[in-house]
Structure 1
Amino acid sequence: MPTGLAARDLPAGRVRRSAALAAVVVLLCGLTLALAYVNKARCAGAPFDQDGRSRVFDVIKDRDVCYSDIQFLWLGRDINEHVFPYVSGGITEDGALVGGAVEYPVLSGVLMWLGAIGADNDAEFLRYSALLLVPFALLTAWMLARLAGGAALLWAAGPPLVLYAFHNWELPVVFTAVAAVYVVGALPRFSLRSRGIAAAVLLALGFCLKLYPGIFVLPLLAYVLTGGVERHKDESGRGLDVRGALLTAAAAVGTVVVVNLPFALAGYEGWRASITFQQLRQADITTNSIWYWGLRPMFTHDIAGEASFQQVVSIVSPMLVLAAFALAMWLGWRRYVVTGVFPWVGVSGAMLCGFLLFHKVHSPQYTLWLVPFLVLLEVPWWLIGGYLVADAAIGIGVFRYFYSMGSGTSVELMQSIVQFGVWGRASLLVVLFFVFLWALPRGYRSVRPTAPRSDPSDLVPVS
């Protein structure tokens, strides 16, 4: 039997993290969230116009880098009218959402509606939404602390949480992804099948929030199929658990259907509008992607050139995303052959890198999706630091760039900063793609530097 990874050589193989450390991480996360709210609340407050929009919002949102989608979407989606999403409305021929339709999957739409209950203006909507989102960030901090120890401070007190905690509705979806890892790795008293099914349900709920956790179901299936670390430790050499993998897949699909079906039946046009909106979205200056900054200059600056550019992106982007997924799964399987354990967390992280790199939209707040993998896996800190610098160039620079364009001042400096962020982030995503696939979990080290990193006898927990 090939040398494999011990249970402790997996994220949360043994959860022996200090409860005191977890409490400190959660406390610091709460303080960071308070700072994050203050940062965004600078754009909100009296006086308000007749629709409840803060008059200061349009004046300073880019200049002072306090813009948030939460505050922006108070208007334009009938949120200010307290219309329950999806069951009415739809999308016009020119791609405008009307009558309560929103561009996000259904659970995010429900969170938006809940945040607006009792709100009469965008400042209250931002505040109530923040209160709704805070528990997800705190629970994520607690789980990461239990899984990875002090490295969880990267989530709890890092720049991304300050910049993006209340930029959009990302915190609940990140929680579902981290919770899936926690369930699989930190609850060994339950069978792998049971943990796999529970994790699949969590990932499916994440899919119903922001889609991306759905891609992690495939590596989870491979992990359950191959029996995880339990199968590696079983000397009987039993075969693949096809039934367990099928049950895990069924749990994911069933959850998505159960969540979406009521909305589709109650108002199909409003439900379908969110999908159509994303299909129609173009790779423009607001998407921060390699496509706009790298490919767009190769086309003419007229209507025909723009149409050709968008057509190429609509074909090439999904093809490259799928190719990245396939490569991650293949490399993950090769590691399974060598070690005896399929690295489903590392493969999930690599797939996310492929998605972020090649998708036509790369919004700044997507960094929150990536941070848990930087916490859970043994990624060099210099690499993390480099990524955070590139991310800040986007998260701050892009709004200053928009302000420069709107105010008529010189844009050369801010455009250079944005391009640095775009290409710095893209190049580091390529590196992280491969680092994730072979990284050990944080908190373990080899007692013999020359020993193979996959030998469980040489891995000891770091106190």
Structure 2
Amino acid sequence: MWNMAPRTPNRIAVPSRTDPLLRRFTEMIGGPLGRRTEPGRTPTGFFTVERVLVALTVVAALAAVAAKNACRVGGWDGANSYMWACYSDLPPLFHARGFAENPFAPFVDGANFEYPVLMSFVASITALPIVPGDYDRALAYFDLNVLLIAALWIAVVLMTSRSAGRRPWDAAMVAIAPGMILASTINWDMWAVAALAGAVLAFSRDRTVLAGALIGIGTATKLFPVLFLGAVLVLAVRTGRWRAFGTTTAAAAGAWLAVNVPAMLLSFEGWSVFWTFTREREAGWSSLWHAWNTIAEAAGAEGLSAETINTAGFVAFFLSCVGVAVIGLIAPTRPRLIQLVFLIVASFVLVNKVYSPQFVIWLIPLVALAWPKWRDFLIWQLVEVLHFFAIWAFLYQMTVELEAQHALAPAAYVLAVFAHMGMVLYLMVRVVHSMWDTSADPVRRAGQDDPGGGPFAGARDAGWVARLRRA
């Protein structure tokens, strides 16, 4: 059975020693941890690293609920959720997608629930106990889902901490990230985030079948976890260790089929709603393509069609993946697995035709493992917070009649979109730089090769890759 106990080295890296920004903030509490202490060896009593991380996550989860309180009190109808930036898909979809009448509405003919199978299943199971009665059923549905999201958030923090090797404190980024506080309760994405975090941890411990199964489950919830296999493929090519890729991919395919085939047989029409909706939908808010269309409309030109965006987005993502593969093969030192995963997922986020505000929670655990630098992380999160409020202000002014001086100008909305994209690109550049110069990689500076590498940790390059890199 898979042992979930922590397997960090005897000594662990402490942020007050290793991070320049946090070191300065410790002056008010006595300065950084002393050099003669042995964190990880010295008993800490009740306040272990993981217990502190759980406490931080609980506080952040309460803040997430408080951030939605205006909607919990005033409702999600009309422009209220945009005005107070407390929007969530969960209460509106409870009635709009038929859960109030039939908890398993996504699995019948005539369904219009535009999400993959396991997300549909989660939405249905959490609707089952919300029986008819004299109470706000949509609010109860929201609260039940938020409770589960908070539990998943804690699990993601713990799995990230255990995947970080000597740097378990890096998971504090996931615990207290403003993006998690604001966006984690918008939709069911945390289920897919937890599946990917579990796959990263399982793979780091050479449990490739379990990792693949979790990738398949995550992909049946939201598509982005399947991108993990791209990073595994790059390292398999570079090292010649193909077994890890084969077993992980086979397990992922098996798990995905195991949950999708029954849904297809039960109601192929309901199962296919997600795929049809994804293909036909227009550019989503905050995406590169929606910003482009907003600029075009302001200039009096015609925006890009859904078909054009599908083609352009696919080509852009394909070229991005080729670029990541080339970088992964010719970098002087074998990249860490999570660095490649972050680059691929970030590329997908940047060029996808939809960027929902909750997509930021996809990246936060990956950034904590790929580039755990608090200064860059906090700047990125500040920009994401500004973008978060800009999108709701833009939607609010489209919903109600506002005078020009009180409305958010389209140019400000477009600027917020480009700012968040620019920060993601900046983090990608820093990760690529750390792949080329390992002395700039905080994880490798802690004396680790690749804590998440699993079968690839310590592997040598295949002969042809070495010759290609010299050429």
TM-score bin (small chain): 0.7 to 0.9
Equivalent residue in structure 1 for 2:317, among 299, 315, 321? 321
Q: Which residue is equivalent to 1:133?
A: 149
1:16 is displaced (CA, Å) by 5.7
Cα separation, 2, equivalents of 1:111 and 1:246 = 29
2:164 aligned with 1:167: no
Q: Distance in 2 between matches of 1:14 and 1:359?
A: 39
For 2:82, the equivalent position in structure 1 comes to: 62
Aligned amino acid, residue 24 of structure 1: V
Unaligned 5+ runs, structure 1 = 1-11, 47-53, 91-98, 228-239, 448-455, 457-463
Q: How many angstroms apart in 1 are the aligned matches of 2:8 and 2:233?
A: 18
Alignment partners' CA distance in 1, 2:298 and 2:63: 44
Return the offset for 1:343: 2.7
Please tell me the residue identity of whatever aligns with 1:418.
Y
Q: From 192, 196, 201, give the equivalent of 2:208.
A: 196
Mapped partners of 1:416, 1:23: distance in 2: 45
Q: CA deviation at 1:400?
A: 1.9
**1:5-46 deviations in Å (ceiling 9; x for gaps):** xxxxxxx88586558111101111011112212322431358
How far is the alpha carbon of 1:167 from its aligned partner? 0.9
> Residue 83 of structure 1: CA displacement?
3.3
Q: Which letter maps to 1:160?
A: G
Q: Once the 2 structures are TM-superposed, how far is the Cα of residue 383 of structure 1 from its aligned partner?
A: 2.8
Check whether the contact 2:202–2:210 (CA below 8 A) recurs between aligned residues. yes
1:59 deviation in Å?
A: 4.8
Quote the offset at 1:170 in angstroms: 1.6
Distance 2:236 2:227 in 1: 15
The corresponding residue for 1:281 is 281
* Residue 145 (structure 1) aligned with residue 157 (structure 2): no
**Structure 2 equivalent of residue 123 of structure 1:** 139
> Secondary structure at the residue paired with 1:112?
helix
TM-score (normalizing by structure 1): 0.78
Q: 2:340 — aligned with what? A: 347
Alignment of structure 1 residues 240-251 onto 2, 5 Å: 240-251=240-251
> Which whole-Å CA distance do the structure 2 matches of 1:81 and 1:137 have between them?
30
Q: 1:357 aligns with which of 350, 357, 382?
A: 350
Contact 1:43 1:66 survives alignment (8 Å): yes
Distance 1:178 1:14 in 2: 20
**Structure 2 length-normalised TM:** 0.77
Aligned partner of 1:110 in structure 2 is 121
Equivalent in the alignment of 1:298: 296
Cα 1:352/1:250, change in 2 over 3 Å: same
Equivalent pair of 1:62/1:400 in contact (CA under 8 Å): yes
SS at match of 2:202: helix
3-state DSSP class of the match of 2:445?
strand
Distance 1:392 1:414 in 2: 18
1:425 aligns with 2:420: yes
* Distance in 1, Cα, partners of 2:366 & 2:265: 37
**Alignment partner, residue 71 of structure 1:** 91
Give the C-alpha shift of residue 208 in structure 1: 0.8
TM-aligned CA deviation for residue 331 of structure 1: 0.8
User: Which one is further off, 324-333 or 262-271?
Assistant: 324-333
Give secondary structure in 2 for the equivalent of 1:283: coil
Residue 23 of structure 1 aligns with which residue? Answer: 51
2:196 aligned residue: 177
TM-aligned CA deviation for residue 299 of structure 1: 6.2
Query: How far apart are the structure 2 equivalents of 1:245 and 1:334?
Result: 20
Residue 269 of structure 1: CA displacement? 0.6
**Do 2:79 and 2:400's aligned partners in 1 also have CA atoms closer than 8 Å?**
no
**C-alpha separation between the residues in 2 aligned to 1:205 and 1:349?**
19
Write the letter of the residue equivalent to 2:194.
Answer: F
What SS does the corresponding residue of 1:57 show, helix, strand or coil? coil
Q: Which amino acid aligns with 2:57?
A: C
1:294 deviates by 2.5
Aligned length in residues? 394
RMSD (Å), alpha carbons: 2.7
Other structure's SS at 2:95 match:
coil
Give the distance between the partners of 1:403 and 1:67, measured in 2 at CA: 11
